[in-house]
Amino acid sequence: MKETDCLIVGCGLSGMVAARTLAEHGYKVHILERRGHIGGNIYDYRDENGFLLQKYGPHTFFTEHKEVKEYIERFTPVKECCLEYVTVIDGKAYPMPFNFKAIDMLYEPERAAALKERLMAAFPGQETVAVAALVGHEDELISEYGRFMYENEYRLYTAKQWGRPIETISPDVFGRVPVYLSYKWEYEPHPYQFVPEAGFTDLARRMLDHPNITCELEQDALAQLELSPAENAVFWHRGGVQICCPILYTGALDELFAYEYGRLPYRSLEFIWKTLPKSRVRDVSISAWPQAEVVTRVTNYANLPKQQQQSDKTVVAIEIPFEYDRSRPFGNEPYYPIRNEETAALYDRYRKKAESFSNLYPAGRLADYKYYNMDQAILSARQTAQRMIERLSRCSCPGFKW
Ligand SMILES: Cc1cc2nc3c(=O)[nH]c(=O)nc-3n(C[C@H](O)[C@H](O)[C@H](O)COP(=O)(O)OP(=O)(O)OC[C@H]3O[C@@H](n4cnc5c(N)ncnc54)[C@H](O)[C@@H]3O)c2cc1C
């Protein structure tokens, strides 16, 4: 019996989902993770006051795929939840996404009623509309409302988040946030919104709890991998032995190929953590600060699900975006791929190179250079693992070589 059938680089959600899929098909999987913990960016931990903190930013599952919820429920009970999200403009906290309550806050009752009526007439039967459709609308009142949101929130927030003027950013980025045509107040308009009952690290532990899965932390896979273009293979060196097995790789491709064609750019985030009396913090889950000079969002952990509600304290995480720079010594993670024509072309070159190695399977938000929400990461990792399984099952044919 072989010790390992496949190697997985990275113990984030993508790596764990793939590992579990392969393990359940009877394959022995080994995971190498560079960080000192499992879970990748969904990792959470309890602080000394009992708050469950998310080191790499607040996470909630939101999805329209029932199968994603059912998949997570195989490992843990979940808690349905809905975050209260506001955006602070001129000192007033408007519901985010904007909804009819925001209109009531902005206008006198008569004008507010007229605007709501005109919106419903202009977009009949729609639950939401993109802010861009309001800005250029022929109805003067609708377009005034659109311009207010665009100028005071979307334009400022997006430019700060991405470090570029909004005109240079694809409307897909700021167009993601909808405007509600009702009093509905849900940050993400998806039917399934939940968190794992005992947190994300607990979910990760349960996913890895399978006799066919082993995982090593603080192991940079790059130190154990050898690229052999001549043999179209990536070899794994372990204890003096050279192994050629399928490798699912969830790290960044430019790094794997030693930045041969140049660096893929990312935005990063710095989190400033503070423990404060609850009375000093807005009584919502997350507040956006579009007009602040450097801060984009503040997460109030006392108002996230599964927290210690008895305490009169809370923990806040203040987010400051900056350009990812590998040489910065701390607080520096490649969070958001900066996708445009130029970077997509650069990524394609790396992807083609990766495809020339017959046993290499890129997966996840870094290797695919895409902003994946967790549901997308799960679905995509399962597909990649399935491709590996098909290949592995053929692998037992006589004469087959990786
Ligand atoms: C601030 C923020 C908030 C978010 N909030 C939400 C949310 O509310 N809901 C939602 O659905 N999604 C959210 N997401 C997206 C979510 O984090 C991702 O979908 C998910 O974490 C992707 O998992 P992954 O495994 O692909 O990547 P990662 O979690 O980044 O895992 C990759 C792992 O590979 C490891 N690795 C890389 N290179 C090597 C190497 N050479 N050797 C060994 N290990 C290596 C890394 O250390 C890392 O642990 C958010 C993302 C961010 C940045």
| Mean pLDDT of all residues in 24-33 | 97
Q: Which long-range contacts (CB under 8 A, 24 or more apart) does 230-234 make?
A: 232/356, 232/357, 232/358, 233/357, 233/358, 233/359, 233/402, 234/357, 234/359, 234/360
Which three-class secondary structure state does DSSP give residue 356?
coil
d(CA 283, CA 263): 41
Q: For 263, which DSSP code? A: P
State which ligand 1 atom lies nearest to the alpha carbon of 62.
11
State yes or no: pLDDT of 5 exceeds 90. yes
Residue to probe by mutation, ligand 1, list 83, 250, 326, 379, most atoms within 8 Å of CB: 250
Of ligand 1's listed atoms, the one at least distance from the Cα of 367 is 26
Q: Ligand 1 centre from 362 Cα, in Å?
A: 14
Question: Could you read off the pLDDT of 105-153 as tens digits, one per residue?
Answer: 999 999 999 999 999 999 999 999 999 899 989 999 999 999 999 999 9
Helix ranges restricted to H, 45-87: 66-73
Which carries the bigger pLDDT value, residue 169 or residue 92?
92
User: Which one, of 283, 282, 287, 299, lies nearest residue 85 by Cα?
Assistant: 287
Q: Is the pLDDT of residue 175 over 70?
A: no
Average pLDDT over residues 77-88: 93
Beta carbons of 379 and 263 less than 8 angstroms apart: no
State which of 59, 60, 332 you would mutate to test the pocket of ligand 1, scoring each by most atoms of that ligand within 8 A of its C-beta.
59
DSSP state of 127: S
- The secondary structure of 283-343 as a DSSP string is SSSEEE-TTSSS--EEEEGGGSSS--TT-SEEEEEEEEEEE--TTS-SS----EE--SHHH
Ligand 1 pocket member 377 (CB < 6 A): yes
Q: Among 319, 316, 328, 326, which residue's Cα sits nearest to residue 270?
A: 319
Give the pLDDT confidence score for residue 397 in this predicted structure: 47
The mean pLDDT value for 309-338 works out to 86
Q: Does the pLDDT at position 309 exceed 80?
A: no
Domains of the chain, earliest start first: 6-73+197-261+338-395 (3.40.50.720), 97-186 (no CATH)
Supply the pTM of this predicted model: 0.94
Instruction: Inform me whether the pLDDT recorded for 1 exceeds 90.
Output: no
For residue 308, pLDDT over 90 is answered with no
Residue 82 pLDDT grade (very low, low, confident, very high; cuts 50, 70, 90): confident
* pLDDT for res 398: 47
**Which comes out higher in pLDDT, residue 328 or 113?**
113
Instruction: Give the side-chain half-sphere CA count within 13 A for 128.
Output: 19
Give the Cα separation of 51 and 304 in Å (integer): 10
Distance CA 120, CA 109 (A): 17
Between 7-16, 183-192, 347-356, the lowest mean confidence (pLDDT) is in 183-192
Q: How far apart are the first and last CA of the chain?
A: 18
Q: Is 12 in the pocket of ligand 1 (CB under 6 A)?
A: yes
Q: Is residue 285 pLDDT above 80, yes or no?
A: yes
Q: Considering only CA atoms, which of 326, 361, 253 is closest in space to residue 6? A: 361
Chain-centre distance for alpha carbon 155: 22
Ligand 1 pocket test, candidate residues 41, 42, 68, most atoms within 8 A of CB: 41
> Is the pLDDT at 178 greater than 90, yes or no?
no
List of E strands, 74-121: 78-80, 85-89, 92-95
Nearest CA to ligand 1 atom 35: 10
Q: Are 233 and 128 in contact (CB under 8 A)?
A: no
CA atoms within 13 A on the CB side of 30: 17
Regarding the beta carbon of 217 and ligand 1, being less than 6 Å apart is answered no
pLDDT one-digit tens code per residue, 331-357? 579 999 998 889 999 999 999 999 999
d(C-alpha 8, C-alpha 388), whole Å:
11
Q: Which residue has the tokens 């989902």?
A: 17
What number does the ligand 1 atom closest to the CA of 35 have?
47
**What pLDDT does 176 receive?**
64
- Count the alpha carbons within 13 Å of 39 in the hemisphere toward its beta carbon: 21
Instruction: Tell which atom from ligand 1 comes closest to the C-alpha of 269.
Output: 1
What pLDDT sits at residue 30? 97
Nearest atom of ligand 1 to the alpha carbon of 63: 11
Is there an atom of ligand 1 within 6 Å of 368 CB?
A: no
- pLDDT tens for 240-254 read 899 999 999 999 999
Q: Is the per-residue pLDDT at 171 higher than 90? A: no
